[in-house]
Amino acid sequence: MKKKYVLALLLTAIAASATAVSAGETVNGVYVDEVGEYPTCTTAGYGYLDGDEIRLPKNHEVPDLYYVRETVDSTCTTAGYTVLVCKECGDEDESSYERIPKKEHDWQAETQVDATCTKPGYGEMVCSVCGTHEEDSEYRIDPKGHTTETVEGYDATCTEDGLTDGSKCSVCGEILEEQEVIPATGHTPETVEGYDATCTEDGLTDGSKCSVCGEILEEQEVIPATGHTTETVEGYDATCTEAGKTDGEVCSVCGETLSGCEEIPAKGHTAEVVSGYDATCTEDGLTDGSKCSVCGEILEEQEVIPAKGHTPETIKGYDATCTETGLTDGSKCSTCGEIFEEQEVIPAKGHSLVLVEYKDSTTSEEGNIAYYYCTVCGEKFKDATGTIPVTDEEIIIPKKKASGGSDSSSKSDSSSASTSNVPKTGDNNNIMLYVLGLLGSLTAIGGAFFKKHNA
């Protein structure tokens, strides 16, 4: 009786376990065993399938389930549109927007207006639907325009006002251009220039007349001759380029030389070298020149020697590795050392890891634990992030000894235990172990129950 009860309890536990595994839910097209958090219109959710976390897409990522199309009709004056709107939050999908063109007006003719000199004639229409008024583009008479007639004016004089020309329309009489008063100009004085008396000849004062009508406004008067005024003049030395003069006497009014004032010839320049300097990579130089050491006048201009420009030279960089940074090539001037292109740091590439799956050893062949291998630098690691290095000795699982050998069995068990958490593709033994473990747990539960019941 007790054995049958234990067997029934065991079968019930297995059935309950199978039922728990098969229970699940489909959310936004994704099946999961269990929902951790349901998605919304703005955030994704998550669930679990076979123990793995699965992303549940946002509602808006499944438009067929959550969006409906709404339509706003067009009128005579405004365009309409259709757009997809979320049933949950009312969000509009702008990419689904489709414009509906405005409808045509239902025009009805109303009135007709004749053209004048300035205004066009036209027919006016009104829309029977919205009441909008608009000129009939098919019926329009251009303005006739004014018929211009000149109203002649006359010039002003020095003493009387005048009038400008004007114009008017000979049809409607509208003044097109007003006549403006031209004020009397008044006399326009013009100087009748006189001239000064000299030491030997009479002169005349300035007078004036009107330059328009010629009327004399101010008479000229005679200025008597003045005679010479003697003045002593000191001489001056000759310079490099200009002659000098001796002492003498001149008339201070007309400048006529009365005595002395003889010329002293110019001395000429005394040349002196002005040293130049060489050009550099970035700055111009100057050639030698010359100047006068007496007066400082430049005798030979210094000429600009153009800057030579830089001579580029490559600064070799080096490649980055998985763990160490590198440098790009740079450049500098081989003459002055100026940097043209800075070397930039090339970030370390990081390992490119490939999983090498667990392989059990046999009596004829060594096995290996599960590990990760970098395809770039060849380093090996225990973890997928490449932070725990592993040696070749740690990777290898020794060959198993023939049956009866206790040492190889214990070593194999030890190696297998250290790699039990590494998944192995196509290995069905783990499923069997899981079932056996489950049966063992249930047996233990049954034993505990019997002890309690017998007690």
What three-state secondary structure class fits 167?
strand
Segments of the chain scoring below 70 in pLDDT:
1-23, 109, 137-138, 404-455
* Conformational region of residue 350, where left means phi above 0, alpha means psi within -120 to 50, and beta covers everything else: left
Q: What are phi and psi of 87, to 5 degrees?
A: -70, -25
Residue 404: the pLDDT is 55
CA 342/CA 334 separation, integer angstroms: 15
Closest C-alpha to 286, from 276, 294, 295: 276
Three-class secondary structure of residue 282 per DSSP:
coil
Parallel/antiparallel/unpaired status of strands 121-127 and 45-49: unpaired
Report the alpha-carbon distance of residue 108 to residue 124 in Å, rounded.
Answer: 9
Residue 204 pairs in a beta bridge with 195, 222
CA distances from 205 to 121, 195, 208 (A): 73, 6, 10
Token pair 């328009």 is found at 212
Residues ≥6 apart with Cβ < 8 Å to 84: 63, 67, 68, 69, 70, 92, 93, 96
List the structure tokens of 24. 């699940």
φ and ψ at 5, to 5 degrees?
Answer: -65, -45
Using the structure block, give the residue that is written with the tokens 């100026």. Answer: 338
Residue-level pLDDT at 257: 86
Can you give the pLDDT at residue 137?
Answer: 67
Alpha-carbon distance 203 to 211, whole Å? 23
**Measured CA distances, 117 to 136, 137, 143, 148, 167 (Å):** 20, 20, 6, 11, 15
Written as one string, the DSSP assignment of 351-388 is --EEEE--B---SSS-EE--EEEETTT--EESSTTS-S
Instruction: Kindly write down the DSSP assignment for every residue of 327-350, as one continuous string.
Output: E--EEEETTT--EEE---EE----
Sign for the CA dihedral angle at 311, 315, 316, 321 comes to: negative
Query: What is the number of alpha carbons within 13 Å of residue 75 lying toward its C-beta?
Result: 8
pLDDT (0 to 100) of residue 23: 64
263-264 and 244-245: which strand pairing?
A: antiparallel
Contact 131, 142 (CB under 8 A): no
* Helix (DSSP H) and strand (DSSP E) numbers for the chain: 5, 41
